[in-house]
Chains A and B, each alone.
Chain A
Amino acid sequence: MKYLKLILLVLLFLGGIAVGYFVKNFPIIEFNRELKIYEVFNLLLTATIGVFIPFFIKRWIEDSRQVKNNLIEELKDTLKESERIKDKIKFCYSRNSISQGDKDEVNFLFEQSDIKFNCLDELLISTFDVETKTMRAELKDIYMAYWKCVTGGELMTSKFVIISEDFFRRHNESYSKFEIKIKQTINKVHRF
């Protein structure tokens, strides 16, 4: 190994002499002697910027786009999960009856929707913690308001066996607020 390194060093030295000899006697590139050293550095710097910056910027843009796309998908999934509650209420309203089983299902659907909402919250914290602080608080408030609107009043009482016009209207208004907030959040994420 020691001899191999020595041989390599000798070969490199000889190679250097050979390159110097060829450059001196058979010049392929003519050097302009009036060329300033800073002009050479300028050329090298421009070439570096031209090659490396687009590579890194493109990669950074693509990574950032992917993160935003994931967030937007999660927001859409959260809305889709909560849509199941809306659909259940709508179904009971059109059927003109709601049973205890239906009410338990509404609670279960909220539980599922909560889990999805938690995922969204975690994702927003891990990607844009500072930027989304207000947004997260607003989303949670509106989501909680929807939960209270549906399960906080007469729906859970045993006497409530038909979805009234008034309940259905209040439910739709509350759900719309949540839906609008999710869609506004999607637009904001696009602009990050």
Chain B
Amino acid sequence: MEIKDTLIIAKEFVDNPGARDREDGANSGQQFLEDLFVKRFDKAVLENYIIMVDLTGVLGYPSSFVSGSFGKLSIERGSAILLKHLQFKSNNNPLNVDKVINEIKNPTPPKK
């Protein structure tokens, strides 16, 4: 499978991601997931290609944003399909990639 799409979070969303859910404040993980990411992801699954998610250029990723976006999608669709259709890179901070992959593999349960 080849990479046919690249999503640069700092350019296409924001460089200061926020909390988990919309009700928690601006630039939430839920906002990113529903308004931007899920459509691109569904297209990648349908047309069978990989999206390169570029995590570079963001001031810092809060854990709540990561769990509200990638974690939530992993709970809904399963980690295997996410890991099949997504690749991550972070030029200056490789730990960001570990954080996201860790969240996909072990998603934080949603708050009750």
Q: Do A and B bind each other?
A: yes
Which chain A residues have a beta carbon within 8 Å of chain B's beta carbons?
Answer: 100, 103-104, 106-111, 114-115, 117-118, 140, 144, 147-148, 150-153, 155-159
Which chain B residues have a beta carbon within 8 Å of chain A's beta carbons?
Answer: 16-20, 24-26, 58-65, 67, 92-96, 98-99, 102, 108
The reply to whether B64 and A115 form a contact with Cβ atoms under 8 Å apart is no
Is chain A's interface secondary structure helix, strand, loop, or mixed overall?
helix
What total of A-B pairs shows CB separation below 8 Å?
Answer: 71
Q: Whole-angstrom distance from the CB of A135 to the nearest CB of chain B?
A: 16
The reply to whether B98 and A151 form a contact with Cβ atoms under 8 Å apart is no
The reply to whether B102 and A156 form a contact with Cβ atoms under 8 Å apart is no
> Given A104-B16, A114-B95, A158-B24, do A151 and B64 touch, yes or no (CB 8 Å)?
yes
Find chain A residues with CB under 8 A from B19 CB: 156-158
Docked Cα-Cα span, A117 to B19, in Å, equals 24
The reply to whether B60 and A109 form a contact with Cβ atoms under 8 Å apart is yes
Q: Whole-angstrom distance from the CB of B59 to the nearest CB of chain A?
A: 5
Find chain A residues with CB under 8 A from B20 CB: 156-157
Q: Whole-angstrom distance from the CB of A127 to the nearest CB of chain B?
A: 18
